[in-house]
Amino acid sequence: MLVRETLACIGRKCCMFAPQMALERFRLEGKVAIVTGAGSGIGRATAEVLAEAGARVVLAARTLAKLEATKAVITSKRGEALAVPTDVNSANALDELLRAALDTYGRLDVLINVAGGSPPTVALAVTDDEFDAAFHFNVTSAFHLSRAAAPHLAASGAGSIVNISSSMSHVVDRGFVAYGTAKAALNHMTRLLAHEWAPKIRVNALAVGATRTEALAFVTAMEGVEAGMVSKTPMGRLGEPEDIALAALYLASPASAWVTGQVLAVDGGAPGSVWPFPIPSGLE
């Protein structure tokens, strides 16, 4: 009887404390994170979420004023952030970013490669230079920073890299050959680095669907466009930057300690492209 009562008591205590313990695995106290593209959109939301989870966040983007705005939000909530103006297309700038993070905080635990993009362009009109530029912006820059950061992430004992990719890496539509190809390469780079750097560093990616950012706002501002995109999205709405940021927090935190080499789709369940405009191939 005593044994049964004791076990029942233990069971009740487990029920009481397990949820809190589980939530603690999403915390990032004592951790340092670099977030590129942190001046707006997904990058800004991700930086704010990581800071709310307890991380000290190094903010990188080209425009200092935008970085300072992100930093102001974080510090207003008693978080800590460092703004480092950075052009991710510059290898020297990426090296300076990493140096600033280490000089200020002495460690690095998380790297979120958000910066990237490329405008839709008919394949026949894409020049070699434009194709190379899309690859460099979306893949090479993330690789350079990941490679430079790797020894420091490994030294932390539980380093994590999260690459922000796109659903266009695995769905098709006209006009996205440069962008989609680059993001597909980013996905496989994620898998290859995860395999090579395990178990010291986990590397994952998010394949992001149509999300309300400044770039998308130029499209959705047109009458009827957003409704058409939403109609192709099973969840019945476009994504918000916070939707992506929360997924990034999961992959960055100890909550995903047994997850690496994965490309997680955060796209509202869209089975294909939701791009609203038909783009001619030029071969008609």
Half-sphere exposure of 102 (CA within 13 A, CB side): 14
Two tokens, residue 146: 């990941």
Q: What residue segments make up the domains of the chain, in order of their start?
A: 24-266
User: Please, what CATH class does the domain formed by 24-266 belong to?
Assistant: alpha beta
Query: What's the pLDDT at 218?
Result: 86
Q: Which of 105, 135, 176, 179 is catalytic?
A: 179
Q: Report yes or no: 112 and 59 within 8 Å, Cβ to Cβ.
A: no
Query: What's the pLDDT at 18?
Result: 55
Amino acid type, 16: M
Ranges of residues in the chain with a pLDDT under 70 are 1-20
Query: What's the pLDDT at 1?
Result: 43
Beta bridge partners of residue 265, listed in sequence order: 207
DSSP 37: T
250 is catalytic: no
Query: What's the pLDDT at 284?
Result: 82
